[in-house]
Amino acid sequence: MTGYKNCIMSKFSGPEKDEICLDLIKEDPLSIRIQGKPYTVVLRTPGDEIAHVAGFCLGEGIIDSSDDFENLGYCGEDVNVVTVTLKPERINRIPDILKRRGFISQTSCGICGKELVDDLKQNITPILEGPKVDAKMATHCLNTLSDHQTHRQSCHAAAIFTGDGKLLSVGEDVGRHNALDKSIGKLVQDGKLDMGSVLVLTSRISYELVQKAARAKIPVIFAVSGPTALAVELAESLGMALVCQTRNKDLFVFCGEHRLAMV
């Protein structure tokens, strides 16, 4: 990640003023083009652009796996533009998504929670039952997440682990959604999308993070903050577990207790 910019600012200690130089995290636009046409622009911390777009495409239903890509790469030498070319058979399956009909923005309004969940569920199937995840192990993954971060003071992070606690990928970004897209996108690129069992987050669990995790078939989410009510509603309908840790180290399991082995 090359996401810092040198900035000069004033530092006050009472009436005394000094000029200091600090590296501030950058936030630059990333243009995503699909089939040669502009699709969307997102603000993100520079770095991991290809993984970011791969994860974004999975989360939005543009792809189901890396096999749906004909090509994925930068537009020439411009790292702020990523172009996506889909295989013809995939294009024929998602005409409405490519035309952005029924597209739900991450900041959409004017739609009630029930309508939103019902709409999202049309494109996401419930996650199949599997082995229980050791809650103690997942808690350890959450508590040691900062060990895997490069920019822990500046960015959100999303890390994905196997069911036995092996780290698969980490994404960092000023945007929590971008961090998750990057982390999931790395699994798409590495062909490990079917290995993720536990997602740990530095952020609150919102419905769109549940949506992205569900598209990646990750059944268990642990986070430092609790979920929104809409996130719980969506996760419960998809058979997922949402967990956060309190300040005194207790666990709040909001849904999906059947996914966990509580030791």
Residues serving a catalytic function are 109
- Name the nearest CA neighbour of 185 among 59, 51, 32, 42: 51
Q: Quick check: helix, strand or coil at residue 40?
A: strand
Q: Is 4 exposed, middle or buried (0-12, 13-18, 19+ CB in 10 A)?
A: middle
Angle among Cα 217, 35, 105 to the nearest 5 degrees reads 50
Q: CA-to-CA distance for 185 and 193, rounded, in angstroms?
A: 9
Residue 151 backbone dihedrals phi, psi, to 5 degrees:
-125, 55
Q: What is the DSSP letter of 151?
A: S
Q: CA-to-CA distance for 225 and 206, rounded, in angstroms?
A: 10
Beta partners for residue 251, in sequence order: 245
- Name the nearest CA neighbour of 59 among 217, 202, 228, 181: 181
